[in-house]
Chain A
């Protein structure tokens, strides 16, 4: 008994060290791989709450600046509405016009960012809105500069967004006026450079061409601006171009995001599912 106690005192530190390291590495593998980042989504009540409070202080600090920004953004939007051909309505009258609302397929919900997570090549946002605010898994997220990402997971009050700057991002995009479709991925180290794969080599691409969303999925509406062609090359022995696309803004520095609700997404997916059933 004395001997056992002696061993415990002498080697207790080492035993505990080994045990705790094992627990730590188990947790890392369980919760930190890119495939099962369950823990990442800040749904944890306490840390989510504290992050939110800290963000609130941040918001307060930059209030004036943000007010100016919002005003500017609003002005731009209202300008667009007024300039729409055939529509001569003030914004207020527009929102009461139910006929107009029914015919618009895409609805934008403004959301706030709770937290930004970046781990090497994988960047995420946590939004302070969740299923209670009508967000759903798989919806697209945009800012006024272009597309930002899509929702990976929602809990009641939070949502996790995979940003464009993530190895898991992958957006169907096309080169404007040329209609060649490819997949946009982030493989560079530069947050301003995305890479478009899958454009066939017979396509005639010129520097400065606009790259826009294709709209072939239900996530983003067609024609949203992504960036311009910065550089392209044809890897030896490959049939497809690798096109570097320069985006306007580092998406991780965005402050104001909007979630896109596609009102007809369910209908489209339901119809497409029938193919599998046949």
Chain B
């Protein structure tokens, strides 16, 4: 029960940070609109490893819906975060250590190691970014914009994500 409450509170705080602070950050001069920091996907990443895929995907839908309301882009965040949530189980399987995960394993640095967490979060965040910016543009006519936004946003987001992880050191 305590754990669930912790996840809910973390989700609310991270979404608020996303829509109130990170949404409003703009970099560079006019015409350079490529950096969008995405921190809230970390909510999905930090769910316990044994959470059923259906539950992860549903949580992703709810988070995406909330974020979309603030971004005025109904559907775009939902599609990207649901995609990432579904991908999560495959990435977990891909990165599964030889002896498997323990029953109550949590995907964080202290229990799985820094290398493991870096590849885990980087793959998921990159998948999120490329899906999000493709759907946002909705056409591959904007190929250059999609690539630039994905690359720059991914780099800045993973930095912020690691700062958040190292500062808060989530345990559950």
Q: Which residues of A contact B (CB under 8 A)?
A: 9, 12-17, 20-21, 23-32, 39-40, 42, 44, 46-47, 50-51, 54, 58, 115, 117-120, 189-192, 250
Instruction: List 17 interface pairs A-B (beta carbons < 8 Å), by A numbering.
Output: A16-B53, A16-B54, A17-B57, A17-B86, A20-B61, A20-B82, A28-B135, A32-B73, A39-B74, A46-B69, A47-B69, A50-B19, A51-B70, A118-B33, A120-B136, A120-B137, A190-B31
> Least Cβ distance of B98 to chain A in Å?
24
Are B78 and A189 within 8 A (Cβ)? no
**Interface bits B56-94 vs A (CB < 8 Å: 1, else 0):** 111011001000111011111011001101100100000
> Least Cβ distance of B117 to chain A in Å?
22
Q: Which residues does chain B contribute within 8 Å of A58, judged by CB atoms?
A: 24
Count of A-B residue pairs with CB < 8 Å:
99
Q: Which residues does chain B contribute within 8 Å of A27, judged by CB atoms?
A: 68, 74-75, 78
Are A26 and B72 within 8 A (Cβ)? no
Check A13/B54 contact, CB under 8 A, given A120-B137, A189-B31, A192-B30: yes
> Least Cβ distance of A54 to chain B in Å?
5
Are B82 and A117 within 8 A (Cβ)? no
> Least Cβ distance of B151 to chain A in Å?
17
Interface residue tally for chain B (C-beta within 8 Å): 36
CB nearest to A15 among chain B residues: B54
Q: Which residues does chain A contribute within 8 Å of B78, judged by CB atoms?
A: 20, 23-24, 27
Interface centre among B60, B78, B135, B137 (most CB of A within 10 A): B78
Q: Is the interface of B mostly helix, strand, loop or mixed?
A: helix
Q: In B132-148, which residues have CB < 8 Å from any A CB?
A: 135-138, 142, 145
Are A14 and B30 within 8 A (Cβ)? no
Is residue B52 within 8 Å, beta carbon to beta carbon, of the partner chain? yes
CB nearest to A37 among chain B residues: B72
Are A17 and B75 within 8 A (Cβ)? no
A54 to B18, CA, bound (A): 12
A14 to B83, CA, bound (A): 10
Are B82 and A17 within 8 A (Cβ)? yes
A269 to B73, CA, bound (A): 35
> Least Cβ distance of B135 to chain A in Å?
7
A14 to B89, CA, bound (A): 11
A13 to B31, CA, bound (A): 40
A54 to B25, CA, bound (A): 13
Q: Which residues does chain A contribute within 8 Å of B138, judged by CB atoms?
A: 28, 32
A39 to B72, CA, bound (A): 7
Q: Which residues does chain B contribute within 8 Å of A28, judged by CB atoms?
A: 74-76, 79, 135, 138
Are B72 and A117 within 8 A (Cβ)? yes
Are A24 and B52 within 8 A (Cβ)? no
> Least Cβ distance of B56 to chain A in Å?
7
A120 to B24, CA, bound (A): 16
A31 to B75, CA, bound (A): 8
A16 to B167, CA, bound (A): 34
Are A54 and B24 within 8 A (Cβ)? yes
Contact of A47 among B54, B57, B72, B136 (CB under 8 A): B72
> Least Cβ distance of A15 to chain B in Å?
8
> Least Cβ distance of A5 to chain B in Å?
13
Check A24/B57 contact, CB under 8 A, given A12-B52, A54-B24: no
Is residue B20 within 8 Å, beta carbon to beta carbon, of the partner chain? yes
A190 to B78, CA, bound (A): 31
Having A32-B73, A39-B74, A115-B72, one finds 19 other A-B pairs with CB under 8 Å, namely: A12-B52, A13-B53, A13-B56, A13-B57, A13-B86, A17-B53, A17-B82, A20-B61, A21-B82, A24-B79, A27-B68, A28-B74, A28-B76, A32-B74, A47-B72, A50-B20, A54-B24, A119-B73, A120-B137
